[in-house]
Amino acid sequence: MKKTILIYRDQLLPYSETFIPAQVDNFSEYSGYYIGSSRLPNSELIIPRNRSIIIDDVLAFPSIWKTAYKLFNITNPHWIKQIKELKPALIHAHFGLDGVLALPLAKQLNIPLIVTFHGYYATANLGEIVNKNGLKYGQDYLSRRGQFFRELYLRKRAQLFDEADCFIAVSEFIKNKLMAQGCPEAKIKVHYIGIDVEKFTPDANMECQNIVLFVGRLVEKKGCEYLIKAIAQVQKTNPELELVIIGDGILRQKLEKLAANSLNKYRFLGVQPPEAVKTWLNQAKMLVAPSITTDQGETEGLPIVILEAMAMGLPVISTIHAGIPEAVKHEETGFLIPEKDTETMAKYIIQLYQDSKLRKELGIAGQNRIKRDFNLKMNTIKLENIYHQI
């Protein structure tokens, strides 16, 4: 009989995190159940209701119990009873804050806790811990949620590093960042998130279009602003080349205004389902992922869309940033440029656009790299081996 792994994500589940259920769906020796406090709109398209135990779903007055849990580590007896009935072997939390939130639950269940760090909580400058009385702390929870959770993580980080059993870093870069924060090296395992190479395969019958593709949240660290500026240079000599942007975020209005003022051909498609993203990957001539380090110090871990594009045989232009060079090899599977270097970005976009032979060579090399080092089935076996060890 398969052992149960609890997958903790406080909010289940943002559209940008489909890599989490992709891992769970490929378990062979374990069975995954999702636990958390909130169910996001349309999450049932990603997370089956019958494989999740979420405070929003199972309790009356969920807001009261969520507050009790996050402020005082008080778990609702009905929620914890349903979780205990699963007889879980361990909790696997994704992201640093979720590790902090899952820690009291792991203690109450008396099971190990594994935490995967992806980017933000390993890299961003979160400020300093400010001493506050209980009233001020509670007020922050009610009116300044972002500040509350940043401070909660900072307050509990040392305890998390001490008491959790294992930390998974999605790249060597993230491992080094965790060690710099004081995480014991002996507890850290580098584990790349894999790609389903059977699902992400190119369709030879689909015609390639004059498209440069961007896929990602429209937030500062994704660097979309610099891609728009590079495309403006490209379109001066290649006006037929179109920029297609998939994703949404707080910078969308600003980016749409920038594109309207500088580009000839472009589209903002907003959030798209995975199958639609795959179709666009199949039609584009290249993917550009111009990630940057934000003013707050936040970086990527290793963007999944880069791995998906490579699996599809699509050449990638990205930046020398975070864990990206661990996947994209310069002039071998794509091109790497300094952050914010729009001139070099434009040069490589034109080179790839005009050289179909080079696109094919880089694409094949990228596919081979994904099959070798980022294969979801193989990497999920490695993840289950980590579970065995813990």
Q: Please give the angle made by the CA atoms of 356, 352 and 354, to the nearest 5 degrees.
A: 60
Element (H, E) at 212: strand 211-215
* Domain of residue 311, residue span: 211-373
At 144 the pLDDT is 82
292-302 mean pLDDT: 93
Nearest Cα residue to 334 out of 355, 357, 307, 315: 315
pLDDT at 128: 72
The reply to whether 182 and 116 lie within a common domain is: yes
Q: Does residue 56 sit within a domain?
A: yes
pLDDT at residue 134 in the model:
65
The pLDDT > 70 percentage for the chain reads: 98
Closest CA to 99 of 172, 16, 22, 181: 181
Is 58 a member of any domain? yes
Whether 75 and 137 map to the same domain: the answer is yes
Per residue in 168-223, pLDDT tens?
999 999 999 999 999 999 999 999 999 999 999 999 888 899 999 999 999 999 99
CB 230 within 8 A of CB 346: yes
Query: What ranges in the chain are assigned the alpha helix state H?
Result: 19-25, 55-58, 62-72, 77-84, 96-109, 120-123, 134-143, 145-163, 172-180, 224-234, 252-262, 274-283, 304-311, 342-354, 356-373, 376-389
**Mean pLDDT over residues 83-93, rounded?**
97
* Cα–Cα distance, 283 to 321 (Å, whole number): 26
Give 228's Cβ-side CA count (13 Å radius).
21
Rounded CA-CA distance 184/178 in Å is 8
* Tokens, residue 334: 């794509």
Residues 176 and 235 in one domain: no
Residue 176 and residue 302 share a domain = no
- Contact between residue 231 and residue 243 where contact means Cβ atoms under 8 Å apart: yes
pLDDT of residue 386: 97
List C-alpha distances in Å: 329 to 174, 324, 373: 18, 9, 13
Q: What values do phi and psi take at 250, rounded to 5?
A: -65, -20
pTM: 0.92
Question: Residue 132 pLDDT > 90, yes or no?
Answer: no
Same domain, 277 and 358: yes
Instruction: Verify that 174 and 267 share a domain, yes or no.
Output: no
- Do 269 and 120 have their domain in common? no
Residue 23 near residue 193, CB atoms below 8 Å: yes
Whether 16 is covered by a domain: the verdict is yes
The answer to whether position 110 is within a domain reads yes
DSSP secondary-structure letter at 240?
A: T
Task: Tell me the mean pLDDT in the region 43-56.
Answer: 89
Q: Is the pLDDT of residue 239 over 70?
A: yes
Task: Kindly state whether residues 174 and 226 are assigned to the same domain.
Answer: no
CB 282 within 8 A of CB 312: yes
Q: How many CA atoms lie within 13 A of 286 on its CB side?
A: 32
| Same domain (yes/no): 178, 298 | no
Q: Which amino acid does the sequence have at 285?
A: K
Tokens for 60, please give them: 């009356």
Q: Which two tokens stand for residue 80?
A: 């914890």
pLDDT at 137 > cutoff 70: no
The closest of 307, 264, 313 to 284, measured between CA atoms, is 313
Structurally, the chain folds into a number of domains equal to 2
Same domain? 135 vs 218 = no
Cα 309 to the center of its chain, rounded Å: 15
Which amino acid belongs to residue 263? L
Report the pLDDT value the prediction gives residue 252, as an integer from 0 to 100: 98
Percent helix, percent strand, percent coil in the chain, to nearest 5: 50, 20, 35
Task: Kindly provide the b/e burial profile for residues 162-179, where b requires at least 16 CB atoms within 10 angstroms of the residue's own CB.
Answer: eebebbbbbbebbbebbe
Same domain, 186 and 260: no
Structural domain includes residue 203? no
> Is 223 domain-assigned?
yes
What is the arithmetic mean of pLDDT over 8-14?
Answer: 93
Claim to verify: residue 81 and residue 163 sit in the same structural domain? yes
pLDDT, tens only, 276-287? 999 999 999 999
3-8, strands of its sheet edge to edge: 52-54, 30-36, 3-8, 88-94, 113-117, 166-169, 188-190
What mean pLDDT value characterizes the chain? 94
Mean pLDDT of 354-379: 97
Residue 69 lies in a domain: yes
What does the pLDDT look like over 304-357, one tens digit per residue?
Answer: 999 999 999 999 999 999 999 999 999 999 999 999 999 999 999 999 999 999
Comparison of pLDDT for 138 and 163, the residue scoring more: 163
Q: According to the model, what pLDDT value does residue 293 have? A: 96
109 in a structural domain: yes
Amino acid identity for residue 281 in this structure: L
- CATH number of the domain bearing residue 113: 3.40.50.2000
The pLDDT of residue 136 is 73
